[in-house]
Amino acid sequence: MAKKVVAVGSSVGLHARPAATISQEAAKLGSTVTLATEGGDPIDARSVLLIMTLGAGSGDYVTVEGDNEADVQTIADLVAKDLDA
């Protein structure tokens, strides 16, 4: 199981636009990747609505986890990127 902890890079957190970008990319992957905030339950990164329910703001840490290390890295990179720029 691969796991990365990254800070949210989007200036306004994981709202609709970044969540949509992340979920669309996660849907293309060959494995399931989950996201979780500290102390929270993991959610499927393919779901826009579930990503938004994380309530992750800019700079908050999110754990990205899955069976495929490359897939986890792909989603972790998106979470850490400012998707509003």
Rounded-to-integer distance, Cα 74 and Cα 72, Å: 5
The string of pLDDT tens digits covering residues 20-78 is: 999 999 999 999 999 999 999 999 999 999 999 999 999 999 999 999 999 999 999 99
Q: In what order do the strands lie in the sheet with 61-66?
A: 2-7, 61-66, 33-37, 43-44
Domain locations along the chain: 2-80
CATH numeric code, 2-80: 3.30.1340.10
Tell me the CA end-to-end span of the chain in Å, nearest whole number: 31
Place of tokens 């490359």: 70
